[in-house]
Chains A and B, each alone.
Chain A
Amino acid sequence: DADVTQTPRNRITKTGKRIMLECSQTKGHDRMYWYRQDPGLGLRLIYYSFDVKDINKGEISDGYSVSRQAQAKFSLSLESAIPNQTALYFCATSDLFQTNEQFFGPGTRLTVL
């Protein structure tokens, strides 16, 4: 089984709808991240969390919110989706004492019409 899972893997929605993307991990890592990937722009950090009580904004947090329900779960919400939020979204995890790698989930492809 995958260590970092994301649901859903694909989602098509309409402008103005509320959307939640979920991420779960079985690696026991304390740090979790949400990234967005757009063609030609690489990956950009939306939010990150170093533990359940620690949530931090990344470089493009406007229009997004997150919830760290447990060490293993980190959700990303779009309160009112807009078309320019169409992108590939990645969740990632890393370990406090072994931060030489971030482990990525398979990605969620979101389309906002």
Chain B
Amino acid sequence: AQKITQTQPGMFVQEKEAVTLDCTYDTSDPSYGLFWYKQPSSGEMIFLIYQGSYDQQNATEGRYSLNFQKARKSANLVISASQLGDSAMYFCAMRDFGNEKLTFGTGTRLTIIP
């Protein structure tokens, strides 16, 4: 069975600093995808970044990058130069290509301090 673990329930970071949100996963499927979503206080789920298990390079999308360490089964999200608008809940999720379902972690609440 798939499992996603986010061990940081909350984080406080100074504006303009970089922040790393931790995510570890467990699966027996060799083919899978890892996702990060942002959920602001308004409630919508915003897709940030995706990493495939066979991708050779770490995914990047603007200020977001995914630090993918396959042997450690970790997929940490790195946000560079944090902004006040980055304050939100962040969810890590995984999909095994065998069953096509997303499994979510419990989330990390990030607060950016001016």
Interface string of A92-113 (1 = CB under 8 A from B): 1000000111111011010000
The reply on B78 being an interface residue by CB < 8 A is: no
Knowing A41-B106, A43-B91 are in contact, say whether A99-B44 is a contact too (CB < 8 A): no
**Contact digits for A50-82, partner B, Cβ 8 Å, 1 yes 0 no:** 100000001000000000000000000000000
CB distance from A82 to the nearest CB of B (A): 23
The answer to whether A19 has its CB under 8 Å from any CB of chain B is: no
Determine the chain A residues whose CB is within 8 A of the CB of B104 once the complex forms. 35, 42-44
Q: Judging by beta carbons under 8 Å apart, are A100 and B33 in contact?
A: yes
The number of chain B residues with a CB under 8 A from chain A is 21
Count A interface residues, CB 8 Å. 24
In the assembled complex, how far is the CB of residue A57 from the closest CB belonging to chain B, in whole angstroms? 11
Nearest CB of B to A76, in Å: 16
Closest A residue by C-beta to B51: A100
Residues on B with beta carbons closer than 8 Å to the beta carbon of A92: 45, 102
Contact A42 B107 (CB under 8 A): yes
- 6 inter-chain pairs at a CB distance below 8 angstroms, sorted by A residue, are A44-B104, A90-B45, A92-B45, A99-B33, A100-B50, A101-B35
